[in-house]
Structure formats: C-alpha cells, structure tokens
C-alpha cells in the first residue's frame, strides 16, 4: 500500500497529522505513528522526525545555492599536477604541490589564472582525494606482487628495525630486485637498490648477474653518486651480500656492515618499501635478460633517481605505539629526500648549495617524459611481438599536450600497460536535448552556478511531458562537459600573447 502513495500524498499526511501529533499524549502518539508508518512505509524514526519537526523535514526540497570553492578549473589544474607527480597519493601531492607548480611555471609548462593558482595551493589532502576520486577509478594501478624472504645466513652482526636511532645520512639498506618475470630459471637482470634511512635517498644499479664481486663494484658506484659519504650498509641474508668479499671491502673502507634477522622483512622496511614504490612502479614485473636490457635499465634509473629524489615526497615514521592488538603509527610531514638533506644539520653547506643548484635546473616534466620513453623501450624488450607504440614514445610537446586527459586512457606507464577493449565513444540514441540545448546554454551563461537538476526541472516545466525523470543524468553529463570547457578557459586565461603561446593549445605546448 505504501508504494502506491505519491510523494505529495505523504506531504499532505504530514501536514494533517503534524499538529495533532505534537499536542497528543504518549499512547496516542504511538497509535498515530503505527498508522502513519503502515500507510507511508517510512521508517519509524524517520516518521518521528517528520511529524515532530515538519519545518526541518521540508529543508531537503529547497534548492541548494552557493558557489563551490574548488571548481572545475582547480580540478583541471590538479589533474595536471597529479600526472606530473606520477600519480602519488594526496598527502604526498599536497607536500610537493607548491614546488612542482613553481617548477612547471618556471619551465613554461603551466600558466595558471592567479585565482585558480591560489585556490590550488590551498587545497587540502582530503579535498584532493575527493576531487580525484573519479579520475583514480579510471586509472587504478594493478596490485603489486610480494617476494618471499631470502635464505638465512649468519656471518655478520644483526641489526633489527628497532636498533636504528635517527642515524645521520650515510647509513643505507641494500637489497636485490629480480627482473625474472614469472620464472626464476636461467639468467636475468637484477637491480641493486640502496636507500638512505635518514633521508630516503634512493639509488638503483642494474646487474646482469647477482654476484658478490659485482656488489663491491656497485658500492663503489654508490660512493660516487651519493651526495653524502657512505657510513654503513645493512643487507638481508642473501649470499651475494653475506660473504668474505663484501665484508672485507667494508672493513677496508671503514663501512659498518650489518644484516637483518632471517625471515623478518620488517628489519629492512625502508628498502623493501622502495623496491615496490620505485623499482616495481617504474620497471614492472617483466623479465629482462642480456646487455641491452641492462643498458636500458641503467638509462631509466638515471632519470628515476633525479625524479624521485627531488620531486617525489615520501612519508617517514616518527613513532609507533602498540595499543592492545593494534599498532598506532605517527608520521612526519611528507618531504622529498632532497628536502630532508637540506634541512639536516650534518650536511655541509657546499653540498646543500649543490643540491639546490641541481634542483633549480631540473624540469620534472622533462624527466617524467624521459622516464616514459625509457619505459617504452623496456616494454618493447620484454614483449616485442605484442608491443605497440604507447604514450611514452612521443615528443615532449606531445607528451605535455596529453597530460590533462591522460588519466582517461587508464595506465600511463608502458611497462604496466595491458590490452584494453575499444572505448565506446559513439552515440546509440538520438540526443534528447538537441533542440533545447541553445536555451540551456543561455541559462548557463546567465547563471553559471545553477545545477543541472534546476535546469532539468525548468525544461520539464517549459516542455510538459517531453522529458522523463530518468533523463536527468544525461543532462548532468552534458552540463559537466560544458563546465570543463569553461574551466580550461580559466586555466589558460593568463597565457601572455607576447610569449608566442596559443591559448587554444594545451598547457606546455609551444607554437
């Protein structure tokens, strides 16, 4: 019976019973509620609220007015910076947003309207998650695989995760990442990953084979690349690390050498995290063998080390506390490895000046484009028969032009791309708003903040019986597309005609 009663009938019942309900005694109120719930089908609690306060019950029907703080222009600019930061999480993106916007503007890749820029830099991490929620659903990354612990060996002193007491820069955790694909048989390339515990600085070196003498050579390369002296290394129990060759090298150069406990991966939490967040993220899980693959990986890591260490903020654990069966963790504010080194008192001023100078010269979008090119080369090496030219094999201008809409194509990394079905982009039904669309545009130009629902109600009033309630979503999509076009005009409105840039061209593309 409740389903047959219209909404207007329910409102009339509320108006009729409301005054009697407020003045009635408890038993009479219970009887009235029983009858009202049986007739309308409302939940009993909702019925109490309706009859007890009819003014508040009518509030949801009032049209929502006001202007959004973060409109489509801010969202459009946020998508570009999110893509330029390689789709990092909202809290890390919030930390690097001022630096990456400044770098993109300094290198001519971005020109924001002053009002849009001000609101973009004020956006919170929670709002970033809300604005990018639909975008991330379209470009959701694949789950990462996990590796089992290495074999046990006891030849060097053990250091657990609790033994690290805020060390100075120079103490590294090292580990191997195997690029073996789905099989560990035969020869394949390995990557030596080294992570500084204090700053999070990361270095990656590809090896054609996992051998102890190559590890010593890798440490020598690390000493030349690191912006601070190497003071100590901590490894797992792999035989490539736990041997007389590496132990003798560390003793000769006065490098403190320790290892983690067997089957305790958390003892190497810093480097294990980088194995997934950096190596697997940029290289993937394909199998690579031979000298050409090693050279391609080395070329990729040259760009990755600069992009990650200077433009990728990371979290650092401040403290953790056990509360029964749960562990409560607190983290420092996200910061890049370069920023942590610049703020650390043990780093001398000449090193800090060198880091600042290099950061000013680096272009994050140019580095990201180079990374995509190198990833495309790796993808072609991993499966040459299935590989087709992807987003990475483009010019820098084409790459910059793709950034605002790159999220629509899903996975952007050539090393992670899978075969996708054809996108349905053609119309299967006649446009129901084709004849009235000029009127809708006129209403939008007069009142840009009006909602699509108000416009639809106005169309239903002007054209009785022509539009059903189910067509509201179609109009909402059309209005959303119009607002995106208007947002782009705001984003590009501050481009100076004297610079030779065409406002009709996407951000970062020169004439």
Per-residue pLDDT tens over the stretch 435-456: 888 888 888 888 888 899 999 9
**Cα distance between residue 118 and residue 77, in whole Å:** 11
CA neighbor of 312 nearest in space, from 285, 278, 357, 344:
278
With a CB cutoff of 8 Å and minimum separation 6, the contacts of 183 are 287
**CA dihedral of 388, 390, 393, 397, whole degrees rounded to 10:** 150
With a CB cutoff of 8 Å and minimum separation 6, the contacts of 224 are none
Strands 326-331 and 317-323: antiparallel
**Cα distance between residue 278 and residue 312, in whole Å:** 10
**Cα distance between residue 52 and residue 46, in whole Å:** 10
Instruction: With 0.95 as the threshold, say if the pTM is over it.
Output: no
Which stretches within 200-268 are classed as H helix? Answer: 212-225, 244-252
**Cα distance between residue 419 and residue 424, in whole Å:** 15
- The answer to whether the beta carbons of residues 111 and 494 sit under 8 Å apart is yes
Q: Which two tokens stand for residue 391?
A: 């987003």
Annotated domain spans of the chain: 2-61, 161-307, 437-499
CA neighbor of 124 nearest in space, from 102, 94, 84:
94
Q: What is the pLDDT of residue 39?
A: 84
**Strands of the 171-178 sheet, one edge to the other:** 202-207, 190-196, 171-178, 232-235, 256-259
C-alpha torsion sign, points 161, 167, 171, 177: positive
Q: DSSP code of 314?
A: B
- The answer to whether the beta carbons of residues 267 and 175 sit under 8 Å apart is no
Q: Distances in Å between the alpha carbon of 290 and those of 30, 188, 286, 301, 394?
A: 82, 7, 14, 17, 26
- The answer to whether the beta carbons of residues 231 and 171 sit under 8 Å apart is yes
With a CB cutoff of 8 Å and minimum separation 6, the contacts of 55 are none
Q: What is the pLDDT of residue 63?
A: 53
5-13 CB contacts, 8 Å cutoff, 24+ apart: 5/39, 5/40, 5/41, 10/40, 10/42, 13/39, 13/40
Q: What is the pLDDT of residue 4?
A: 58
Q: Which two tokens stand for residue 154?
A: 């006891």
**What is the Cα 92 distance to its own chain's centre?**
8
**Cα distance between residue 103 and residue 365, in whole Å:** 9
**Cα distance between residue 416 and residue 31, in whole Å:** 64
**Cα distance between residue 434 and residue 163, in whole Å:** 70
Residue 409, φ and ψ in degrees, nearest 5: -85, 5
**Cα distance between residue 289 and residue 273, in whole Å:** 24
With a CB cutoff of 8 Å and minimum separation 6, the contacts of 370 are 303
**Three-class secondary structure of residue 93 per DSSP:** helix
Helix pair angle (472-491, 452-462), 10° resolution: 130
Residue 189, φ and ψ in degrees, nearest 5: -80, 145
**Cα distance between residue 190 and residue 209, in whole Å:** 6
At which residue do the structure tokens 């791309």 appear?
417
What residue ranges in 325-451 does DSSP mark as E strands? 326-331
CA neighbor of 360 nearest in space, from 102, 80, 95, 81:
102
| Successive 10-residue mean pLDDT values, the chain, 511 residues | 64 81 85 86 86 55 58 88 91 92 90 88 91 84 55 70 87 94 89 94 93 91 93 90 88 91 86 92 92 93 95 89 88 93 94 95 93 91 64 74 84 76 72 88 86 90 88 89 80 53 40 34
Beta bridge partners of 190: 178, 207
Fold of 161-307: Nucleotidyltransferase; domain 5 (3.30.420)
């Amino acid at each position: 019976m409740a389903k047959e009663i219209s909404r207007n009938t329910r409102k009339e019942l509320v108006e009729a019973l409301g005054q009697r309900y407020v003045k009635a005694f408890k038993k009479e109120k219970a009887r009235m509620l029983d009858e009202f719930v049986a007739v309308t089908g409302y939940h009993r609690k909702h019925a109490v609220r309706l009859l007890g306060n009819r003014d508040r019950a009518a509030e949801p029907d009032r049209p929502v007015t006001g202007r959004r703080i973060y409109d489509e222009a801010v969202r459009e600019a946020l998508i570009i910076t999110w893509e330029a930061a390689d789709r990092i999480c909202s809290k890390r993106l919030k930390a690097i947003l001022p630096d990456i916007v400044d770098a993109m503007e300094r290198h001519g890749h971005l020109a924001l309207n002053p009002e849009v820029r001000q609101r973009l830099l004020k956006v919170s991490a929670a709002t970033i998650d809300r604005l990018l929620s639909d975008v991330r659903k379209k470009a959701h990354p694949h789950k990462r695989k996990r590796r089992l612990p290495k074999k046990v060996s006891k030849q060097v002193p053990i250091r657990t995760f609790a033994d690290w007491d805020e060390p100075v820069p120079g103490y590294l955790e090292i580990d191997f990442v195997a690029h073996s694909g789905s099989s560990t048989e035969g020869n394949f390339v390995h990557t030596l990953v080294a992570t500084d515990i204090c700053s999070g600085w990361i270095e990656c070196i590809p090896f054609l084979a996992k051998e102890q003498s190559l590890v010593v050579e890798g440490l020598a390369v690390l000493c030349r690349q690191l912006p601070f002296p190497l003071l100590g290394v901590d490894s797992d129990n792999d035989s490539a690390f736990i041997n007389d060759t590496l132990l003798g090298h560390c003793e000769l150069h006065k490098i403190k050498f320790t290892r983690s406990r067997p089957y305790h991966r958390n003892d190497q939490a810093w480097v294990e995290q980088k194995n997934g967040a950096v190596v697997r993220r940029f290289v993937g899980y394909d199998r690579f063998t031979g000298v050409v693959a090693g050279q391609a990986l080395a070329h990729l890591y040259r760009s990755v080390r600069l992009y990650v260490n200077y433009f990728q903020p990371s979290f650092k654990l401040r403290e953790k506390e056990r509360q029964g069966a749960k562990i409560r963790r607190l983290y420092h504010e996200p910061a890049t490895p370069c920023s942590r080194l610049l703020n650390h008192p043990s780093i001398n001023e000449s090193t800090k000046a060198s880091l600042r100078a290099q950061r000013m010269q680096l272009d994050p979008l140019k580095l990201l484009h180079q990374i995509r090119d190198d990833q495309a080369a790796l993808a072609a090496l991993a499966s040459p028969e299935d590989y087709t030219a992807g987003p990475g094999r483009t010019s820098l201008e084409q790459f910059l032009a793709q950034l605002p809409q790159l999220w629509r194509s899903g996975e952007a990394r050539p090393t992670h791309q899978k075969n996708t079905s054809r996108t349905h982009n053609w119309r299967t039904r006649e446009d129901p708003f084709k004849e009235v669309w000029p009127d809708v545009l006129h209403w939008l130009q007069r009142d840009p903040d009006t909602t699509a629902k108000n416009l639809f109600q106005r169309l239903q009033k002007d054209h009785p019986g022509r539009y059903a309630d189910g067509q509201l979503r179609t109009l909402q999509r059309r209005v959303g597309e119009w607002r995106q076009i208007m947002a782009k005009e705001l984003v590009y409105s501050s481009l100076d005609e004297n610079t030779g840039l065409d406002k009709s061209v996407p951000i970062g593309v020169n004439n």
